[in-house]
Structure 1
Amino acid sequence: MKIGIFFGGPSREREISFAGGRTVYDNLDKSLFEAVPVFVDSKGNFILLDWHYIYKGTIRDFYPPVSALPPSQLPVQVYLESLGDLTQAEQDSIIAEVGRRVQPHELRELMDFAFLALHGPGGEDGAIQGLLEWYGIPYSGSGILPSAFGINKVAQKKLLKALDRPTPDFRVISTEDWDAADPAATLDYLVRELGLPLVFKAPRQGSSIGISILREADVAKFAAAMERSLFRKTVTQQEWRALSYQEQIVWVQQLIDIREGIGLPVVMELRDANLKRKGDYNSNTQKVIYRPEELLELLDRWLQYAGSAQLTSTDGEAQVLVESFVQGREFSCIVVEDGTGKPLALPPTEIVKGEEMFDYRSKYLPGLARKVTPIDLPEADIQRIRESCEEMFDTFGFQVYARLDGFIQADGTLFLNDPNTTSGMLPASFFFHQAAEIGLNPSQFLTFLIRTSLAARRRGGMQPVRLAGLLGQLDAAVASRQQQERSRIKVAVIMGGYSSERHISVESGRNIYEKLSSSVKYEPVPVFLTGNSQEFRLYVLPINVMLKDNADDIREKIELAEAGHATHPILARIRQEAQAITSTYAGQAVEQPRRITFPELAEEVSEVFIALHGRPGEDGALQRELEQYGLPYNGSGVASSSITINKFETNRKLREAGLRVAEHRMASRLEWTADPEGFYQSLETQFPYPFIAKPADDGCSSAVKKIKNRAELTAFTRLIFRDQEDLMAADATVLHLGFKEEFPQKEAFLVETLIERDGAAHFLEVTGGLLTHWGENGELQVEVFEASEALATGEVLSLEEKFLAGEGQNITPARYAPDPVERQRISEEVKAELRRVAEVLDIQGYARIDAFVRVRQNSAVEVLIIEVNSLPGMTPATCIFHQTALAGYTPYQFIDQILEFGKKRAENLELKA
C-alpha cells in the first residue's frame, strides 16, 4: 500500500511536523507499506520530496535551497516566506531543487492513503482533510468537522461551558479591543473576573506556542503576555540602544524563531510624534519586513528617531484566550478507537515539570520534564481520567486517535482542555510512549492507526467497496508479517550508560531500534547498560520501558522491577482491554526489564550495535567484553577507541602526525587543590582569554565552555572538581548553564586555545562523517562524506543543536566558497585531512570528526581538528544522516553497512585466530 506522508506545512509547528513526518517515514513497516514523502511548504505547495532531504535536521537546512537565498552575513537561516512575494515560476524553480511540485489532482495517483503528520492551521483544522475528501483519498485521524473544532480553543471552551463540564473560566480579547483598551483597566477587569494567576493562549496554536502565565498584577508583564499570544513584540529605543551589536543579532534570532518568537515576515509600526519632525518618516509608519538583515537595519535606523517600534507577525492571531489558572497535576492522555470504533483511553501520563509551564522546549527536549505513566494516583482516579477523556473524544466527535490534556486538582476536580487531533510524532512523544504501554512499538502502532483510519473513513461513507478491499489486503499482509518475525537477524542495540550523554545515547539507541524494527532483515533487541566502570549491568528492555522519556526514567523502571514492583493495576486493565489490538499487531504481551549477562547476550543475538556515547562505549571497555564472547559490533576497535575517547591524547597523536590542532594542556584537580591562585595564573599565562575548557573524556558538547574571564574560569573549575552531585547555583549562574544542563565531575579537564578566524577570508565550523569498507584484498578503505557547516546560536554548539530535531542549524554540504568549483576543491582538501585523521587513529566502521576550516586570501586551506567521535550520535536529526544521504545511503542502509562491516571484521579476526 502506498502511504503518502504529509509533513511540514505553514504553521509554527512545522519543524515538529517535519520531524514527525520523518519518524513516520522511517517507522512504516517496509514489508507492508511504500512511503511517499509529501512535503508541504509554508506557502501550501505540495512537493514530492527527494528522499535524502527528509534527513535534514530542520526545514531551513534545505528549503529554501541555498541558491535561492540572498547573500547574508548573519548566522540565521530563514523560511520560504522570507523571500517575499514569489511568482509561480520562481516557486517552481525553488521546488525543483528539492523534488517536484504535485498538483492536488495528482495526489490520488501517488498514494492509496494519506498519513497526516501536519500540525496547527492547515493540518489539524479540517483544511487538508477537506481536500483529501474531495479527491477520495482516505487519510489518518479525525475528519473535517472534529478537526476544525479540535483546533479552535475558544469554540471548545464554549461547548464545555454549555455542557456544564468543568473548565477554567475564561475571557476572549480581540486585537481590536486590545488596541483600543487601557492596559491597566483591562488587567484590573481580568483579575477581578478570573483572579490570579492568569493564563494567556493563542487560540489556534498547538505545542504550547504563544502561551504564558501572569502571576502578578504587573501591567508591563500583562502587555508582554498579550503580545506573546498575538505574536507581537514592542521594543523601545532605550532597550535597543542598551544592546551591543552581537546582542542585537541574538535578539533578532530569538524574535524570528517561529516557535518561541513571532517569526517573519513582520509589520513594523512606529507611533511617535517626534517622527513628524523628520523628513524621511511619517507618523504611524508601517512596513512589511521579510529578512533578518532588513529587520536589524531598520530597527537600528528607525529607533534613532522613534521612541518605540511595534513588530507584528503577518501570520499572528486575532484573539487572545485568557483563562483562570488551574492549580493541579497536569496529564496527557492518548485516546484511540478500538477495532469496533469505540474510544479506548491509553494510560494517562503525568507531566512533572521543572518550570511552571510545559512549553515547547519542555515537550520536545529529553530531560527537561518527566513523563510518569500512569499518573501516580489511586486506580479509581486514573480510571476517572480515562473515562472523562473517552467521553470528550465522543462528545467532540474525534476519530481514530486524539491527545487530550488536563489537570486534576487536590479535591479531585478534573479539567480537560486543549485536545489535539494530531499528536506530536517524535520517537519519545506521548503518542508512542503510551502506545508502548500496551506493547506496540512505533512501527506496529502506525500500522494499527492506518488500519483504524481506513475503517473510520469507510464508516463515514468514503468509497466503501474500495476501502473494504484495502482493509482486506492489509489484514492479510499483517497476518503474514507475523510469520516473518522468526527469520530476522537479532541485533542487540545497547543504549543508556551513566555519562552526561546518557539521554542522547537513549535517543540514538531508539532511533537505531526503530530503523531496524521496520526492516525485513533485522530484529532489534533493546538493551540498557547501567552500572559503573567496574561492572556493566545489562537489561533487555520491553518496548514500554525503552520509550520512557530519558535514561534516568528507564533506570528507575529497571530498579522498580528488580525490587519486585508489580505491574500497575491500571496498566494490567488497559492491556486486557487492548488485547485484541496487541495480539494482532505485536503478537506478544508487555514484559518486565530482564537482567542479562554477556554470555547470555551472545546466545540471544548475532551482533551488537553500540549506541552509547562517551564512557562507557567509546573507550574500548565494552568492545573488549564483546570480543571476549565473539559478538560483532559497530565502530572502532579497542585500541583506537581508547585513544579517541581522550581528547588530549587524540590531539597529541594528531599533532605528532603533522595535523593541525589547538594548543592544549590538561588541568588537574591536584594542581588546583594545592594552589588555586597559581593554578589560575598558570592557565591565564598560557591561554589568553577567551579560551575553551571542556572534559577530556566526554564526547559531544557536554560541559564545553568558552571561558572569557577569571570569574568564569573559577566557576568552571569549581563545578568540574566539585565533590557533591548537585551544581552550585552561583557558579552555574556565572556559566549561564541552562535548565537541567548537566555538568560532569572530573579529576582533570582540558584547556585549549580558542580557534578563531585569524585573518582568513572564510572561516567556518564543520563536522564530517566517514564510513569504512573492506577492499577486495581485505584492506581498509575510508569513505569520507561531505561535511556539514554548523551554525551555533550560542558561544559553542549545544547538545540540542547537534542532535535534536528542529534545534540545530546545519548546512550540508558546507559553504566553503560561493563558486561551486572552488567549493568542491576546498571540500576535497578538507575530506583528505579527515581521511588522514582516520588513518592516523585507525578508526574503523564509522566516525564523526569536528573541525574548523580557514580559507586564506590566497585560497590556501587550513583544517584544525577539534575532536573525534568514534560512536557519533545517531539521533534522527544528527547531521551524519544529512551527509550519508548525499552519498546515496538512507539511514537504514548506512546502519546496515556499519553492521555488515563489524560482522566481516569479526569473521576476519576469527580466521586469523
Structure 2
Amino acid sequence: MKVKVGVFFGGVSVEHEVSVISALQAINAIDRDQYEPIPIYIAKNKNWYTGEALLEIENYKNIDSLLKQCERIIITTNDQGRPVIHRHTTGMFGKKLISEIDVAFPVIHGTYGEDGILQGYFELHGLPYVGCDVFSSAVGMDKVMMKQILRDSGLPILDYHWFYSSNWLNDQDALIEKIESELNYPVIVKPANLGSSVGISKATNREELEEAVELATEFAKKIVVEKMVTNLKEVNCSVLGDYEEAESSVCEEVLSSTDILTYQDKYQSGGSSKGGGSSKGMESTNRKIPAEMSDEKTAEVQKLAKDTFQTLGCAGVSRIDFLIDKNTEQVFVNEINTIPGSLSFYLWEPTGKSFKELTSDMIQVALKRERERESLTFSVDTNLFAMHSGGAKGGSKSKLGSNS
C-alpha cells in the first residue's frame, strides 16, 4: 500500500508563486511506486484546496478559474487519531471524507509555512511531516535568533546590529550612531524574517540607511543591519539528513546582476522553459555548479553547512548560503533556507542523487522522526479533576454550597 503524502504549498507569504513552482517540481519527482502525492494548495485568501487541476502550472494564470475546478477542504483527525482530508461543505447525502494522509510534505516558503507555524499545525494533528521541526523552522526563519545561536556555537557570521521598528521610530538618531560607529558603511539592511531577498537593500551613507530601514519595516517589525562584504563571492550548499546523520551537496556560486542577489536574479533569470524562465524556480538562477573554489575551501564550506544544519536542529533538506570575502578568503554563514527554492535538487543531481531519490530520502527522514517520537512520553494518563471532590482550591462540595 502506498504512503499518502500531502504536499502543502502556496500560502500567504510574498513567496507564494515560488512555492507553487517548487511544489509542482517536487510532486513530479516523488516516486509513484512508493508514494501517492496529494496536492494541498493554500490560496492567498487562506482557504485550502485539493484537486488534479492544481498539478498544471498553466492553470495558475487564472486562479479564480483554477479554484472552481478544485475541492475546498479542511484537515481533521478521525476517531483513530489519523489525519484526514474532508470536504469543506457537502450536501445532505454527500461524502465528506476525501482521503487520509500518512505524511505531510510542506513546500511553503516564507511566513506561515517555513517559520514553524504550519509545522505546529501538523504537530497538533499528529501528522508526521517532512523537514525541520517547529523550533528549527522558527529559528531558521528569524535571522536574529539564527545569528545568536550560530555565534554562540562558534560558527562565523558577519558583525550585525538589530532592532524593532518601534525602536527606529522612537530613537532613530541613537540607532544610526550605533550602526555607524560599530559597523560603518556600507551595510546591508534586511527584514529579520523574510526570504527571497524581499525588502533587502544596501546603504553606503546615512540617507540610504534611513531609506533602507524604511523599506525593511514595510515587511517586518524586526530589522537586521549587518556589515557588507564589498569584494564578495556568494556560495550556497545544501544539506540532507537530521541531527544524527547529514551529508552536504556540491557547492554553487550564485551570480548576481547587482551587489545583492535580487528576487529577479533568483526566479526570473536563466533563460526560458516550456512555461517561461520563471517556472523553473531556483533552478533558473544564474550560477556556477560546482562553485569555482579550491578543494580545501569547498570542504570548509561543506563542513560549515553541515555544522550549521545540525547546530540548528534541522531535518530534511536545507540550503545554507555563505558569503566569502575574496580579500581575506574568510567564509561567513549568511542564512539558512529550511524549505529552499526547488528543494535545491539541482545541487544534489551532480552528486548522483536524483530528485526522486532526494524526495524519498526526505520522506524517510520524516518517518524516522515519527518513529522516534512514538517512544517518547508527551502526557501522563491521569485525571486531576477526579482526584479532588472540591473546587479549584481543593475545597469540599459542602463548602461550595455553604450559603444554602
- Which category describes the TM-score, using the shorter chain as reference length? 0.7 to 0.9
Say yes or no: does 1:719 pair with 2:215.
yes
Q: CA deviation at 1:607?
A: 1.1
* Alignment-derived partner of residue 868 in structure 1: 336
Alignment of structure 1 residues 844-863 onto 2, 5 Å: 844-854=315-325, 862-863=330-331
Say yes or no: does 1:638 pair with 2:134.
yes
* Alignment-derived partner of residue 815 in structure 1: 292
Partners of 1:693 and 1:751 within 8 A in 2? yes
Structure 2: 5+ residue stretches without partners: 85-99, 272-283, 378-404
Partners of 1:607 and 1:632 within 8 A in 2? yes
The superposition leaves residues 445-498 of structure 1 with CA deviations (integer Å, 9 ceiling, x where unpaired) of: xxxxxxxxxxxxxxxxxxxxxxxxxxxxxxxxxxxxxxxxxx543211111111
Say yes or no: does 1:539 pair with 2:49.
yes
* Alignment-derived partner of residue 492 in structure 1: 6
* Structure 2 counterpart SS, 1:874: helix
Q: CA deviation at 1:663?
A: 1.0
Aligned mates of 1:673, 1:549 — CA distance in 2: 44
* Alignment-derived partner of residue 151 in structure 2: 655
Is the alpha carbon distance of 1:800 and 1:881 closer, same or farther for their aligned partners in structure 2, counting shifts above 3 Å? farther
* Structure 1 counterpart SS, 2:358: helix
Aligned mates of 1:765, 1:703 — CA distance in 2: 19
The superposition leaves residues 496-554 of structure 1 with CA deviations (integer Å, 9 ceiling, x where unpaired) of: 111111111111112112223x733322211122579xxx6432244158635659x54
Is the alpha carbon distance of 1:593 and 1:909 closer, same or farther for their aligned partners in structure 2, counting shifts above 3 Å? same
Code of the aligned partner of 1:596:
I
Say yes or no: does 1:528 pair with 2:34.
no
The superposition leaves residues 424-459 of structure 1 with CA deviations (integer Å, 9 ceiling, x where unpaired) of: xxxxxxxxxxxxxxxxxxxxxxxxxxxxxxxxxxxx
Alignment of structure 1 residues 186-205 onto 2, 5 Å: none
TM-score (norm: length of structure 1): 0.36
Is the alpha carbon distance of 1:675 and 1:911 closer, same or farther for their aligned partners in structure 2, counting shifts above 3 Å? closer
Alignment of structure 1 residues 467-478 onto 2, 5 Å: none
TM-score (norm: length of structure 2): 0.77
Aligned mates of 1:615, 1:557 — CA distance in 2: 26
Aligned mates of 1:854, 1:689 — CA distance in 2: 16
The superposition leaves residues 280-336 of structure 1 with CA deviations (integer Å, 9 ceiling, x where unpaired) of: xxxxxxxxxxxxxxxxxxxxxxxxxxxxxxxxxxxxxxxxxxxxxxxxxxxxxxxxx
Code of the aligned partner of 1:648:
V
Root-mean-square deviation (Å): 2.7
The superposition leaves residues 175-216 of structure 1 with CA deviations (integer Å, 9 ceiling, x where unpaired) of: xxxxxxxxxxxxxxxxxxxxxxxxxxxxxxxxxxxxxxxxxx
The superposition leaves residues 758-816 of structure 1 with CA deviations (integer Å, 9 ceiling, x where unpaired) of: xxxxx52100001116xxxxx71110112111111112112343345535221111111
Say yes or no: does 1:795 pair with 2:225.
no
Match of 2:312 among 841, 851, 854: 841
* Structure 2 counterpart SS, 1:674: helix
* Alignment-derived partner of residue 149 in structure 1: none
* Structure 1 counterpart SS, 2:371: helix
Aligned mates of 1:703, 1:541 — CA distance in 2: 34
Aligned mates of 1:866, 1:642 — CA distance in 2: 16
Is the alpha carbon distance of 1:658 and 1:902 closer, same or farther for their aligned partners in structure 2, counting shifts above 3 Å? same
Aligned mates of 2:115, 2:315 — CA distance in 1: 14
Is the alpha carbon distance of 1:597 and 1:882 closer, same or farther for their aligned partners in structure 2, counting shifts above 3 Å? closer
Partners of 1:648 and 1:664 within 8 A in 2? no
Aligned mates of 1:720, 1:850 — CA distance in 2: 20
Partners of 2:237 and 2:301 within 8 A in 1? no
Aligned mates of 2:300, 2:70 — CA distance in 1: 52
Aligned mates of 1:680, 1:550 — CA distance in 2: 44
Code of the aligned partner of 2:237:
G
Aligned mates of 1:716, 1:550 — CA distance in 2: 33
* Structure 2 counterpart SS, 1:712: helix
The superposition leaves residues 17-56 of structure 1 with CA deviations (integer Å, 9 ceiling, x where unpaired) of: xxxxxxxxxxxxxxxxxxxxxxxxxxxxxxxxxxxxxxxx
Q: CA deviation at 1:719?
A: 3.2
* Structure 2 counterpart SS, 1:661: coil
Code of the aligned partner of 1:602:
P
Q: CA deviation at 1:677?
A: 4.2
Say yes or no: does 1:592 pair with 2:105.
no
Is the alpha carbon distance of 1:883 and 1:681 closer, same or farther for their aligned partners in structure 2, counting shifts above 3 Å? same
Aligned mates of 1:528, 1:842 — CA distance in 2: 27
Is the alpha carbon distance of 1:715 and 1:657 closer, same or farther for their aligned partners in structure 2, counting shifts above 3 Å? same
Partners of 2:24 and 2:55 within 8 A in 1? no
Alignment of structure 1 residues 369-448 onto 2, 5 Å: none
Q: CA deviation at 1:871?
A: 1.1
* Structure 2 counterpart SS, 1:665: strand
Is the alpha carbon distance of 1:675 and 1:546 closer, same or farther for their aligned partners in structure 2, counting shifts above 3 Å? farther
Match of 1:514 among 9, 12, 28: 28
* Alignment-derived partner of residue 185 in structure 1: none
Aligned mates of 1:799, 1:531 — CA distance in 2: 19
* Alignment-derived partner of residue 93 in structure 2: none
Aligned mates of 2:147, 2:20 — CA distance in 1: 28
Is the alpha carbon distance of 1:544 and 1:748 closer, same or farther for their aligned partners in structure 2, counting shifts above 3 Å? closer
* Alignment-derived partner of residue 503 in structure 1: 17
Alignment of structure 1 residues 627-706 onto 2, 5 Å: 627-706=123-202
Is the alpha carbon distance of 1:826 and 1:720 closer, same or farther for their aligned partners in structure 2, counting shifts above 3 Å? closer
Alignment of structure 1 residues 55-74 onto 2, 5 Å: none
Aligned mates of 2:116, 2:257 — CA distance in 1: 33
* Structure 2 counterpart SS, 1:654: helix
Aligned mates of 2:314, 2:22 — CA distance in 1: 20
Code of the aligned partner of 1:827:
T
* Structure 2 counterpart SS, 1:814: coil
* Alignment-derived partner of residue 384 in structure 1: none
Match of 1:771 among 240, 261, 266: 240
Partners of 1:803 and 1:873 within 8 A in 2? no
* Structure 2 counterpart SS, 1:662: coil
Structure 1: 5+ residue stretches without partners: 1-486, 562-566, 568-590, 723-744, 758-762, 774-778, 817-822
Aligned mates of 1:716, 1:549 — CA distance in 2: 37
* Alignment-derived partner of residue 912 in structure 1: 376
Aligned mates of 1:651, 1:912 — CA distance in 2: 30
Code of the aligned partner of 1:746:
A
Say yes or no: does 1:783 pair with 2:261.
no
Q: CA deviation at 1:895?
A: 0.9
Partners of 1:545 and 1:593 within 8 A in 2? no
* Alignment-derived partner of residue 88 in structure 2: none
Partners of 2:39 and 2:50 within 8 A in 1? yes
Q: CA deviation at 1:911?
A: 2.9
Q: How many residues align?
A: 346
Percentage identity across paired residues of the two chains: 26
Aligned mates of 1:646, 1:549 — CA distance in 2: 33
Partners of 1:501 and 1:702 within 8 A in 2? no
* Structure 2 counterpart SS, 1:786: strand
Alignment of structure 1 residues 144-543 onto 2, 5 Å: 488-516=2-30, 519-530=32-43, 537-543=47-53
Deviates more, 1:886-895 or 1:711-720: 711-720
* Structure 2 counterpart SS, 1:764: strand
Partners of 1:770 and 1:847 within 8 A in 2? yes
* Structure 2 counterpart SS, 1:622: helix
Match of 1:602 among 79, 83, 88: 83
Q: CA deviation at 1:847?
A: 0.7
Partners of 1:598 and 1:626 within 8 A in 2? no
Is the alpha carbon distance of 1:548 and 1:602 closer, same or farther for their aligned partners in structure 2, counting shifts above 3 Å? farther
Aligned mates of 1:694, 1:550 — CA distance in 2: 30
